[in-house]
Amino acid sequence: MEFFFNPKGIAVVGATANKLKGGYAIFRNLVIGFKGGIYPVNPGYKEIDGITCYESVKDVPDPVDLAIVFVPGKNVLKIVKDCALRGIKGVMIEAGGFAESSDQGKAMQAELTAFAHHAGIRLWGPNCMGLVDAVHKKIFSFVSPGIWDELIPGDVSLIVQSGMLSGGFLIHCMSHGIMGISKVCSIGNKMDVDECEILEYLINDPDTKVVGLYLESINHGRKFMEICQSSSKPIVLLTGGKSAGGAAAALSHTASMAVNTAVASGAMAQAGVIEAMDFNQMIDLCRSLSAYPELHTMGEGRIAVLTYTGGAGIISSDFIDQMNLTIANLSISTREKLKTVFPDWMPVSNPIDLWPAVERHGGDVVYKAAVEAVCADPGVDAIFIHAFTGGFFLDFDMAVLADQAKLAGKPVFCWVIGTSDAAKKFKLKALDLKIPVFTELFRAVECIDAVFTRKKNLERVSRTTMETDPFQINETSRQILESRAGILDEYLSKQVLAGCGIPITEEYLAASVQEAGQNAGSLGFPVVMKGLKDGTIHKTETGLVKLGISTENGIKAAFNELQTAMGIKGKILVQQQIQGDLELIAGLIRDPQFGPCVMVGLGGVLTEVLNDFVFGVAPLTHTQALELIDRLKTQKLLNGFRGAGAVDRNALAKILVKLGQLGCEVPMIKEIDINPLMICKGKPVAVDASVILSNQDMT
Amino acid sequence: MEFFFNPKGIAVVGATANKLKGGYAIFRNLVIGFKGGIYPVNPGYKEIDGITCYESVKDVPDPVDLAIVFVPGKNVLKIVKDCALRGIKGVMIEAGGFAESSDQGKAMQAELTAFAHHAGIRLWGPNCMGLVDAVHKKIFSFVSPGIWDELIPGDVSLIVQSGMLSGGFLIHCMSHGIMGISKVCSIGNKMDVDECEILEYLINDPDTKVVGLYLESINHGRKFMEICQSSSKPIVLLTGGKSAGGAAAALSHTASMAVNTAVASGAMAQAGVIEAMDFNQMIDLCRSLSAYPELHTMGEGRIAVLTYTGGAGIISSDFIDQMNLTIANLSISTREKLKTVFPDWMPVSNPIDLWPAVERHGGDVVYKAAVEAVCADPGVDAIFIHAFTGGFFLDFDMAVLADQAKLAGKPVFCWVIGTSDAAKKFKLKALDLKIPVFTELFRAVECIDAVFTRKKNLERVSRTTMETDPFQINETSRQILESRAGILDEYLSKQVLAGCGIPITEEYLAASVQEAGQNAGSLGFPVVMKGLKDGTIHKTETGLVKLGISTENGIKAAFNELQTAMGIKGKILVQQQIQGDLELIAGLIRDPQFGPCVMVGLGGVLTEVLNDFVFGVAPLTHTQALELIDRLKTQKLLNGFRGAGAVDRNALAKILVKLGQLGCEVPMIKEIDINPLMICKGKPVAVDASVILSNQDMT
């Protein structure tokens, strides 16, 4: 990737002297800051702005390892071929009109990709804004020259699939002084170079501390996830196309398919990726995490709120309470210190309302005293300052506060409202001091929470937990898997699961009423009898399940009814009847993006109402399986309710680990569905299950 | 209230010539725009800025009907007494140091309130910023003079309990050109004048189209709700203190108690109030509703999204899908019109990505053509325009688009990013054209949704629906209620409910085993037997419930066990055993703020997990009861699941109406709890219930 990020020389194919055209802008933007060779290519010019222009890319002198191409789509293949001949290693194609627009465009894109793979040349784009490196002022983009004076170097890098958005947001952030940027990579249709390669590059890039991504599709889900998982830098992701409507839009825009949201979200959570939901929010999360990528506070988010308005203090408290944060309990010493600036009648509490003190001593004195006090308080992990830029003597010197907090190792976040010019100045100063500032109170608290959530995630990763059982499968299981095909019936499915150590109901096949009676005798009444018919999954709906059989006569009746319902081919299963406290579901799927994935969810009535299920990418460690369970919205139900004991989470995690191992070790398993996975005295037991094999049915 | 909003003359008690003091600011702010008499009062001055200063309020000449007081708390009572003597009708007390600060302050406040009630003088505040009327430039506040040039007159009025916040947000909105203002009323500790009176005033104020409120407490819940309910103007409410932390902060700030969130939220929803969660969001909702208080579109929110970036189009689609809005299906004619500006290769879809067309024809031509097309499309209810202020030829003339849309009667909303100066200009222009502009995409969609939700609410109110049954209660019920006290046992409780027409299980008291047997005979096996012990609600936990009794022997055993468990004093109930499809809970409480309130929620296991219950303020009409049911998060569960039929919502609504009527008609009922209210073949039946009477237990 070095020839994209640090090329020695660049050919600009489609450069022009017409200042209204993108071909001029690309050339001009290079002149602004790029230190290597700049070679405009256009047969219509001898020179542009005094720099020699070449007839063909083949004529360009050394050093040249990158071409930026801005010509109509139909001419691109010819140029890429010329680039390959000239020994150029990378081509950045910024124009649109490819796979996002028409079948013809799709064909052109496919041809280009095929040629690139064959010739070993790398292609970036098309349909993108290229690359901007704010730290080294390298602008490989057609975005208007003349705006780059406002470029704020920083340590957040962005990978953006939407071209206009990458340029637009960059300009927005620059002009509003919202965030310093390291690199913005606009990858468009990503026909060759994709988010995975760029993300890997940025994770190793010393100028980048945080990576934010806006993606409309993920090309290689599992690879992407593994890269994120291995990253020591925070990664913030916004994906489009989550709803049916959004997905339709994504399809027409950058030729993307919406990924299965639940699987992708599960994978991202497992990889420690922070998911954003909106553009500005993504930017806000990125800049907050870049300010505080690692925290060394004692606690897990005890916040001191310094406010000038009780109302904002109250709403902040509400938000803090909604998140995984708490309002810090101030120490006696902190209270004493605050009393020195507070009026006598004023009680000290957190949120700390500084207004009456400010009325007496002014903002500078009071904010300094308050920050000093909470910095010294071992019960405070972070400081949330409310500022006002518009009079009332509320001004304070942010630099002094920043120094105090830095010394104490405590993160500071700011909420500001006030007059607009002063607010902008305040924000720029804060940016310089690396203090994140927000105008929306909720957003501020959301970002504080993200910083502490990352701290907790990092700590959890470093904690040792229960060991993961190695994969074992018994001979019976193996034989079933090797000799069968298609949908295994309940009995065989559960034999496979049991053979890997997943608990199942006690059950027997009965060839006759007599055998069924004997089985029931050893199981004890009541029993369940089921008719197993090859290739059928839904037994209840077809009358093949008889519950609560408590007598010999019942067995006889059920046996005959089941046999009649199935015809001679079916088998009859006699099964222990389980009285469960809670129904779960669990399973395994193979996702086209992420490969084998384990699912766990609430079952029974709850399935339909709550849609509460989560996916994890296999293999799962025992710890990851526990975390997967934790991600269920209603996971507190597992702690027991109405006298029912708590679910044995370790036992449940073991089942999930084994399901994942089955998916990874036995490629012929296409799908596993345990429904219900009944919780009985806290222990999960597979009551019904289907294992579906991908090989052809041999019967 | 006229003497607060339109006084003829104002005495400024505590006026001073010291320009750094609030007492000067109040005086100076009056001079800016108040047309009536201005009388500074301070024994230390003969005049201030050339205007005569009086020694005491008693010396002030006519006309004077309002005093603004800015002196230390301990002097206030004396001044208020002087004001009463002078015949002044209203006193605005802006200083703090009262109930929010100390017991002494509380006492002072109580004394003031008592005096005012006695003397018939009205008090506004204390601990507030007073009143700003931007339309008539009346500034009755100590907020710094010199900022008022930026005041933007508009039609949103605010009632804000937090002083600093009202001033701060006013300045913020003014300076950022966010919103035009009619009146900002800062009510502080509201020891006399409260939100109810001001809200009533503003609802009748011709300058006000929308009222936004930030409250830390509601003084008279039911009255407040009734005022909101009767308002033809949209009301947006943000309340602080929703969480435990927030409530603690509220307590210390403006001497407020947090209201019961669930009850208050239910009451507000019932009254059609739009609840906000954050300050800027409240402002954004207010300005959106003031732009479009009433819509006359055909559909209920079919949105055309005009974007310059596919990425923002996708995310907009996702948000629209999350809300009660849809992405409009463009008509063939709209598609044809768009094709005239689109490049050939570009398919037309919604979100409408205008960028490739803008590249060819410039923003002005393309945005105009697109707005024209969707304005003429009968399948489009609203237009969501994405704008960029920072080049790329994306500029367009907003005034032209606004005219088109106005003519078509379709609301326009804008999302804008770009360079900051141009964005500010864009926002001010939009403000002038009454088009709401947003920087956050989600917020924009949230506000579009609020405007259409209001449209739907208004339509619903005007629709006629099923009539509400009048309240009837039979003689048995009445006798029980009149002759008993305290907690009624299950049998009596359900007799009361049955006597009002609420369906209950069939059941009999049995004095002997023989009688129990006869009862079971007429009910049919299986039956439930319960031991009823005076004053006990929780029977299951104390072993007083025997389920699934199916034999004569079972009855005998159960009877003896229950009798032993209870001792001789208990009664034994034999009850039909109901096999329900779904467990609900329903009940009645008396809220200190809102009076009798009806509750309905998910029962059984779901109660603990989902916390899904809602409150409505009684009496409920049948329609209101149906709407209450609709507010359950998991109300779709009532549509049937897993073969179980749909719940008869009318039958359920009737029960809720009757519970409310009981609460309103029978004041001695303190509480009713129906748990479970079982759904059996779609019909709700009270399976267990407690009625609690408030009079003393007479036994």
How confident is the model over B167-189, as pLDDT tens digits? 888 888 888 889 999 999 999 89
A609 touches chain B (CB under 8 A): yes
Determine the distance in angstroms separating the CA of B228 from the nearest CA of chain A, rounded to an integer: 22
pLDDT of residue A107: 92
**Whole-number pLDDT of residue B645:** 79
For A68, phi then psi, to 5°, come to: -105, 125
Cβ contact B418–A175 (<8 Å): yes
How distant, in Å, are the alpha carbons of A1, A15, B30, B205 from that of A112? 19, 21, 73, 67
What are the pLDDT digits (tens) for B596-612?
999 999 887 666 667 78
Model confidence pLDDT, tens digit, residues B97-121? 888 777 888 999 999 999 999 999 9
Which whole number is the average pLDDT over B517-525? 91
Residues of B in contact with A162 (CB under 8 A): 309-312
Report the C-alpha gap between B673 and B663 in whole angstroms: 12
Task: Write the single-letter amino acid at B332.
Answer: I
Q: Which of A186-195, B204-213, B337-346 has the highest mean pLDDT?
A: B204-213
pLDDT at B332: 96
Dist CA A377 CA B544 (whole Å) = 54
Residue B198: exposure state from Cβ atoms within 10 A (0-12, 13-18, ≥19): buried
Average pLDDT on B492-519 reads 95
Q: Determine whether the interchain pair B101/A346 forms a contact, defined as Cβ–Cβ distance below 8 Å.
A: yes
Residue whose entry in the numeric block shows the structure tokens 């004053």:
B535
Q: Which residues 537-576 of chain B have a CB within 8 Å of chain A?
A: none
| B2-42 pLDDT, tens digit each | 999 999 999 999 999 999 888 999 999 999 889 999 999 99
Residue A361 φ/ψ region, left for φ over 0, alpha for ψ in the -120 to 50 degree band, beta for the rest: alpha
Four-residue CA torsion sign, B20, B24, B29, B31: negative
Best mutation target among B318, B393, B415, B605 (most A Cβ atoms within 10 Å) is: B318
**Which of B357 and B464 is assigned the larger pLDDT?**
B357
At B697 the pLDDT is: 42
The per-residue pLDDT for range A34-69, each reduced to its tens digit, is 999 999 999 999 999 999 999 999 999 999 999 999
| Average pLDDT of chain A to the nearest whole number | 90
- B309 in reach of chain A (CB within 8 A): yes
Tell me how far apart the alpha carbons of residues B645 and B626 are, in angstroms, rounded to a whole number.
18
User: Quick check: A605 contacting B, CB < 8 Å?
Assistant: yes
The H-assigned helical ranges of A63-102 are 76-86
Q: Is B440 on the interface with A (CB under 8 A)?
A: yes
Query: What is the pLDDT at residue B634?
Result: 83
**pLDDT on residue B441:** 96
Provide the β-strand partners of residue B236. B212, B274
User: In this complex, which of A97, A441, A641 lies closest to B605 when CB atoms are compared?
Assistant: A641
Confidence at B254, pLDDT banded by 50, 70, 90: very low
Q: For the segment A507-518, what is each residue's pLDDT rounded down to a tens digit? A: 999 999 999 999
A393 to chain B, closest Cα gap in Å: 10
Question: B142 vs A415, which has greater pLDDT?
Answer: A415
- The band of A256, judged by pLDDT with boundaries at 50, 70 and 90, is very low
The minimal CB distance from A161 to the residues B144, B311, B606 is found for B311
- Both tokens of A145, joined, read 């020259």
**Residue B614 has what pLDDT?**
92
Closest CB to A321: pick one of B176, B243, B278: B243
Q: Pseudo-torsion of CA B566, B572, B575, B578, nearest 10°?
A: 0
Q: With beta carbons less than 8 A apart as the criterion, state whether B502 and B469 touch.
A: no
The reported pLDDT for the residue numbered B256 is 43
Higher pLDDT pick, B476 / A694: B476
Helix, strand, coil abundance in chain A, percent, nearest 5: 40, 20, 35
Look up tokens 């597992």; give the residue.
A638
pLDDT of residue B699: 36
Band of pLDDT at residue B459, cut at 50, 70 and 90: confident
**Residues in chain B closer than 8 A to A105 (CB atoms):** 345
Of all residues in chain B, the one with the smallest CA distance to A316 is B246
Average predicted confidence (pLDDT) for chain B? 90
Per-residue pLDDT band at B567 (split at 50, 70, 90) = confident
If pLDDT is split at 50, 70 and 90, which confidence band does B246 have? low
Rounded percentage of chain B residues whose pLDDT exceeds 70: 94
Flag whether the pTM goes above 0.95.
Answer: no
Nearest to A245 among B321, B346, B642 (CB): B321
Of A243, A277, A309, the CB nearest to B442: A277
Q: Would you call B323 an interface residue with chain A, using a CB distance cutoff of 8 Å?
A: no
pLDDT at A392 over 60: yes
pLDDT of residue A548: 85
On chain B, the residues whose CB falls within 8 A of the CB of A441 are 278-280
The region of weakest confidence among A145-154, A470-479, A573-582, B75-84 is A145-154
pLDDT at residue A540 is higher than 90:
no
The pLDDT of residue B248: 65
Q: Which of B15, B609, B20 is nearest to A606 (CA)?
A: B609
Q: At what angle do helices B195-203 and B221-230 cross, to 10 degrees?
A: 10
Statement: residue B433 has pLDDT above 70: yes
ipTM above 0.85, yes or no: yes
Count Cβ neighbours within 10 Å for each residue of A654-692 and write b for 16 or more, e otherwise.
bbbbbbbbbbbebeebbebbbbbbbbbebebbbbbbbbb
- B420 touching A, CB under 8 A? yes
pLDDT in the model for residue B643: 66
Lookup result for tokens 């803090």: A320
CB pairs under 8 A between A and B: 295
Model pLDDT for residues A329-371, shown as the tens digit of each residue:
999 999 999 999 998 878 899 999 998 899 889 999 999 999 9
pLDDT at A283 over 80: yes
Q: CB A651: neighbour CB atoms within 10 A?
A: 14
Q: Find the mean pLDDT for residues B332-357.
A: 92
Q: What's the CA gap between A432 and B572, in Å, rounded?
A: 77
Which domains are delineated in chain A?
Answer: 1-127 (3.40.50.720), 128-291 (3.40.50.261), 298-464 (3.40.50.261), 506-576 (3.30.1490.20), 582-693 (3.30.470.20)
Q: What is the pLDDT of residue A146?
A: 75
Tokens in use for A415? 């909420």
**Cis before residue A126, ω within 30 degrees of 0?**
yes
What pLDDT, on the 0 to 100 scale, is given for residue A697? 42
Average pLDDT value for residue range B511-522: 92
pLDDT, mean of residues B565-588: 88
Q: What is the reported pLDDT for B228?
A: 95
For residue B257, name the pLDDT band (cuts at 50, 70, 90).
very low
Q: Which helix H or strand E contains A200, and what residues bound it?
A: helix A195-203
Please enumerate, as own/partner, the contacts of B223-226 that have beta carbons within 8 Å and a separation of 24 or more: B223/B196, B224/B195, B224/B196, B224/B199, B225/B267, B225/B268, B225/B270, B225/B271, B225/B594, B225/B617, B226/B271
pLDDT in tens, A212-236: 999 988 889 999 999 999 999 999 9
The pLDDT score that the predictor gives to residue A244 is 66
User: What is the pLDDT confidence band of residue B465, given thresholds at 50, 70 and 90?
Assistant: low
pLDDT at B341 over 70: yes
Residue B250: predicted pLDDT: 59
Q: Is the pLDDT of residue A259 over 70?
A: no
Q: What pLDDT sits at residue B112?
A: 95
pLDDT tens per residue across span A432-454: 999 999 999 999 999 999 999 99
